[in-house]
């Protein structure tokens, strides 16, 4: 089990470029970092699949922030193999109560379509996980979240680790030194998702 017991201690870890993950083999939580960090661009490098344009134009989904944080947390953890353990869920709940962790959600009527779980420190959004219940729900959440981060002058959307899904949105990898500079610039800002 990780020793950080307060939200402030946990946020200090994130502000230094670390992130938490559960270790399935050994149990408990650990701090991790990466020499190659995946970044979702907040400039014109951001893109989305052309097939998503039709869904966006239809305005099928409404966007909400923290409308149902508990459901988003459970949705992100509901996988065959997950790094979001019960201990980590408790930490996300603590960070949410303290105003650091947020869920950026899409809704189709009263049904949660998809969401992105993240931590906000200044002008940095640390994307922790995402999921969908309705096809395209999390993709629309990604596009709308990037629009929101741009509008609120965020500097950094940290996706932690690259994967093919994120590459479709223009995610790219930077080295740890470049990341440290970007992170310092981002956390010095005073931004909000609202």
**Which residues of the chain have a pLDDT value below 70?**
1-5, 24-27
Residue 173 located in a structural domain: yes
At 7-64, the pLDDT tens digits run 999 999 999 999 998 876 666 888 988 889 999 999 999 999 888 998 999 999 999 9
Residue 4 located in a structural domain: no
Residue 165 located in a structural domain: yes
Residue 1 located in a structural domain: no
Residue 108 located in a structural domain: yes
Residue 30: per-residue pLDDT: 87
C-alpha span between 122 and 95 (Å, rounded): 14
- Per the document, the length of the chain is 194
Q: Nearest CA to 129 among 87, 95, 161?
A: 161
Residue 18 located in a structural domain: no
Quick one: tokens of 186?
A: 């981002």
C-alpha span between 103 and 75 (Å, rounded): 11
Residue 18: per-residue pLDDT: 94
Q: Nearest CA to 112 among 92, 130, 88?
A: 130
Number of domains in the chain: 1
Residues spanned by the domain of 163: 35-187
Going 56 to 62 to 67 to 72, the CA torsion angle's sign is negative
Residue 114 located in a structural domain: yes
The CATH number of residue 43's host domain is: 3.40.630.70
C-alpha span between 128 and 125 (Å, rounded): 9
C-alpha span between 87 and 4 (Å, rounded): 12
Residue 43 located in a structural domain: yes
Residue 102: per-residue pLDDT: 98
SS3 55: helix
Confirm if 104 and 154 have CB atoms less than 8 A apart.
no
Residue 177: per-residue pLDDT: 94
């Amino acid at each position: 089990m990780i020793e950080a017991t307060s939200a402030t201690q946990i946020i200090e870890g994130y502000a230094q470029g670390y992130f938490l993950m559960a270790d399935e083999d050994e149990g408990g939580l650990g701090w991790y970092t990466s020499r190659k960090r995946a970044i979702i661009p907040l400039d014109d490098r951001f893109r989305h699949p052309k097939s998503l344009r039709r869904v966006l134009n239809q305005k099928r989904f409404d966007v909400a922030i923290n409308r149902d944080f508990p459901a988003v947390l459970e949705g992100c953890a509901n996988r065959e193999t997950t790094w979001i353990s019960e201990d980590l869920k408790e930490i996300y709940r603590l960070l949410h109560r303290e105003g650091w962790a947020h869920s950026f959600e899409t809704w189709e009527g009263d049904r949660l379509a998809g969401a992105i779980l993240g931590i906000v420190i200044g002008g940095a959004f640390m994307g922790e996980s995402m999921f969908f219940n309705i096809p395209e729900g999390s993709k629309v959440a990604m596009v709308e979240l990037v629009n929101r981060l741009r509008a609120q002058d965020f500097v950094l959307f940290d996706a932690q680790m690259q994967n093919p899904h994120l590459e479709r949105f223009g995610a790219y990898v930077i080295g740890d030194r470049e990341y440290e500079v970007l992170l310092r610039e981002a956390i010095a800002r005073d931004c909000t998702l609202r």
